[in-house]
Chains A and B, each alone.
Chain A
Amino acid sequence: MKIVVCIKQVPEGLDVKVDPETKRIVREGVKSIINPYDLYAIEEGIRLKERFGGQTWVISMGPPQAETAIREAISMGIDNGVLLSDKKFAGSDTLATSYTLSLGIKKIGDVDIIICGRETLDGSTGQVGPGIAVHLGIPYITYVSKIVDIKENKIETIRLMEDHYEVVKTNLPVLITVVKEINQPRIPSLKNMLRAKKIEIPIWNAEMLGGDQSLFGQEGSPTKVIDVWTQEIKKEGRKVEGEPQEMAEEILKELKKLGVL
């Protein structure tokens, strides 16, 4: 079985700091990490190989430094990695990103399962996974919280909806997006860390991917960001301190004011 995990490198943390004068996001000293959701995807990829055998890949589209993310995934236990990188990919929205990744996955070839994270920290759209599946013409299942079984080319999963779980079955090849509940990502092992250090990570550019070159990057991206700003959520709150009795009274008063009681 061939398993491909899609990962993205993102800046660590949510508190993007902005210089109040220049309005610029401060990135100096901010570490890049694997998108937290993608760790669950990587872990599930490794577990599938452990359960059913086969070969695991990670793929990422991004600037050259995204290679570190791929090496991190390999140090967790993924077999191979490939980076899709080209200036032509700059400015990609989710349509262009999913197209580019789908070409990369086709180039890897004969893939049975593609695993994506639920969403990214910076994009947070959750659109790339379903997009890849449509470009590849394969079925997809979102919010998977468990892979029950894979046999005879069929996969059985449990997926999480707002207020219920569902058992969903389909045929391979398939793309799934996974939620945190699915597993607990492992810590890299020394052996794999050494392997990750040495392994060669191929970089595929636009030309090597082929496809319709006008669908890459900004040109292939229908959406356009026209403004960005940071927002600080401030509440005109009040803080109260005192005896439990008084405190309960305060909350009660507030709930009444809010029309709840």
Chain B
Amino acid sequence: MTANGWFQIALFSAALLVITKPLGIYVLKVYDGSMRWLAPLERVLYRISGVDRDEEQHWTRYAASMLIFSGASMLLTYAVLRLQQLLPLNPQHMGAVPDRQAFETAASFTTNTNWQSYSGETTMSYFSQMTQLTFHNFASAATGVALAVALARGITRHSAGKLGNFWVDLVRGTLYLFLPLSIILALVFVQQGVIQNFTQYVTVHTVEGAKQLLAMGPVASQEAIKQIGTNGGGFFNANSAHPFENPTPWTNFWQMLAIFAIPAALTCMYGRMANNQKHGWALWAAMFVLFIGGASTAYWAEARGNPIHAARGVDVVASAVNPGGNMEGKEVRFGIANSALFATITTDASCGAVNAMHDSFTPLGGLVPLVNMQLGEVVFGGVGAGLYGMLIMVVLAVFIAGLMVGRTPEYLGKKIQAREVQMAMLFVLIFAGSILVTAAIAAVSPAGLKGLNNAGPHGLSEIIYAFTSTAANNGSAFAGLSGGTYFYNTILGLNMLVGRFAMIVPMIALAGFMAEKRTVPASAGTFPVTTPLFVALLISVILIVGALTFFPALALGPIVEHFLMQAGRLF
């Protein structure tokens, strides 16, 4: 570990702190309707699509709108991927995407997962990349934030179960929040070297006389929303490690900040909606503690390097000229610190972009991204999904605090009763079930084992990672696993749909139930949700729920591999 490495982590943290409030106030204005500079365009969209902008939707209707929109957009993507050979903007003459893979990819981008079993540079036409994958990057992100805002409304107001209007939230989030930020960020990226063109791949005659074909495309526009919308689906196979996606440490810094920007801002927005800004900052603090814990662990593990490789002659000690540590699957321009930091951020959030190959991390370095996802991606989390996941944890924490003192728990003046806790538990159990049951099936079936790139405990880690990543809608991978098979395309595609939509329904029901309740004034017995005690309790609940659920699986994967690596055992 180097002083500069720690300094870069500190600098990132400071930048995150600085942007939280201004961006949070901006997001608040987007969703309360006071932002109006694109009002004419908004009106046209509502008129063509027959949306009554003043209609308040009951939670059942809000959920139905979201599901139907997701279904319609997923079908469109499936159709375009299957027919891309007939469509324009395809200079490399890419053929139709195979049916299972098209299904999985459509599910993947609709659910904000962006798990990719294909390589962009050999599979997707520019038309598919733009009109489908970039579009979904916006739509799934705007859907996520809309859902979080709906839950925030349910908790903070008394409105007979009504949560706002999904269509309006979707349009406003896309137009006012994601589009402007993406245009600015895309230009920062291009200035640093990210490509943006529609030309054929360029043939290079290398200095030594070989031929090299350079993949091209409209990368910057997709790259920006890929990060801001915590989507994570790379234009190219190597994702944010590819120099045309992430050419410099400066673009890398902005990519990391873009992942956390809106999730962090949402805590501020929520605090203001609840008229309790301190509570918003308490959530931010709980998230930040978990983030720094993960980042430090990953940095320590990767900087320490691999004793097996050291024994083969590699110098794992960092110096001013040698990066040291475990550089397998990492880029020189990012080095150890930025690779570990990126891996932590991308899995704290539901992003899944990678600037280093997690599969080649040391066991404990790879454990961090895995655990981050298994905690439910509530550490800032995905855009929207992070906040609503965290609020489910808050409901559980308040419930447990209520049990400890023996009175009906209250949260922000509303009683937490059986129905709410049932919905919160459904949310937690569906997540755990969709990871462990499916991973167990893969681990004992020949089709599941055939895809492995590594033997021994690392092979099990590859399977667990794949099912965790898809259920959590992350999309990063222990990429050695060949996910392009019939078995994995199908089961992972279904897993992503369950991990998104089967969890959203109980969450939005909880929002509706909360919105039906009256607010009662706080009393001496109310558990305060702004104190360090609350932050500590919340962190404990997150860790205990995660640890109890997943520790046995982790013990057989990365943890046992760590001890085997220390003993020099190879597979």
The answer to whether A and B assemble together is: no
A residues with a Cβ closer than 8 A to B are none
B residues with a Cβ closer than 8 A to A are none
